[in-house]
Structure 1
Amino acid sequence: MDFQIRSFQHNAVIPDIEGVHNLVKQQLTFIGYTPTYQDVASVLANAMKEESRAVLWVAYQQERAVGMAFGNVCCGLESGGDYLWLNELYVAEEARFHGLGTKLLTEAQRWAKEMGCTYLAMVTHPRNERAQHLYAGEGFELESLVWVDKYL
């Protein structure tokens, strides 16, 4: 399968935005949320605002969005500078098992290096063995951790 991956930031016009909304909704549903279409549209609009340090990668197959990754550039003392926090990586079911997850991850790493990031980090669910296999196969260190968060 032939895929084209494009990155978007800062008020970008995103081709097949409906398809991207569907991918984001599917990813959020997969991890336990129940977003509405308006929730997804709102969060993507916020991510693309001019002052955001967010980046969205979309994989297209014949102009149709079939995969996406989303991250934020952060600054960390332990990383020695800016790093990329990869919030989401998702491939539509019909596009799986063709290496697209690896291609999205590779593109995110390439972009991060080009932007001067020194580190890439993310989390995945302990039961998401497919994702863990992908990350381990790409040289990422898998660590146990305790996720701490709070809605404000």
Structure 2
Amino acid sequence: MMVMELVLRPATEGDRDTAHRLLTAQLVEHRLPADPDGVARGIDLALAPHSPAWLWLGQREGRTAAIFLANEVVSVERGGLVLWVEELYVVPEARRSGIARALLARVCQHARQRSVRAIELEVVPTQQAALALYRALEFEQVHRTRMSLSL
């Protein structure tokens, strides 16, 4: 079944509970720490005025089926803005229906309008469907090692 119409819109203050539920589900599904306070702080930062974050909800048939969280960052390597995708989550019952593809098409369109030079993301190797989607959309694998330092 293909998506007939995807409504993609920025999240608002009234979407906090929905955003929290979906972002927590994403973390749990990937077996990552799902600290409720940490998720809430992330949502606060994303919704703050002048935030570089894009926190969007994808709705189909009046129900929220996806959430997208990304941040604009300055890249010397790319010579301008890059959009770093932090989360793209589609609820299990809506997967394989074209929602992620439609959402990414709209994200790309909006990014081009904002003169974003590239969209970058990471994928857990076990997420074969996501890898296949990104490859089909012409994302290229970047051979780097991601590292993190908790503060």
TM-score, normalised to structure 1, is: 0.88
Match of 2:21 in 1: 22
SS of 2:141 mapped into structure 1: coil
Gaps of 5+ in 2: none
Match of 2:13 in 1: 13
CA shift, 1:39, in A, is 3.0
CA shift, 1:19, in A, is 2.5
Gaps of 5+ in 1: none
- Corresponding pairs, count: 148
Letter in 2 for 1:3: L
Q: Percent identity at matched positions?
A: 25
SS of 2:27 mapped into structure 1: helix
- Supply the distance in 1 between the matched residues of 2:19 and 2:10 (Cα, whole angstroms): 12
1:61 has 2:60 as partner: yes
SS of 1:107 mapped into structure 2: helix
- Supply the distance in 2 between the matched residues of 1:42 and 1:149 (Cα, whole angstroms): 19
Quick check: 1:132–1:142 contact (8 Å CA) kept in 2?
A: no
- Supply the distance in 2 between the matched residues of 1:31 and 1:44 (Cα, whole angstroms): 19
Letter in 1 for 2:76: L
CA shift, 1:61, in A, is 2.2
Quick check: 2:79–2:117 contact (8 Å CA) kept in 1?
A: yes
TM-score, normalised to structure 2, is: 0.88
CA shift, 1:52, in A, is 1.6
Match of 1:37 in 2: 36
RMSD: 1.7
- Supply the distance in 2 between the matched residues of 1:148 and 1:34 (Cα, whole angstroms): 17
Match of 2:7 in 1: 4
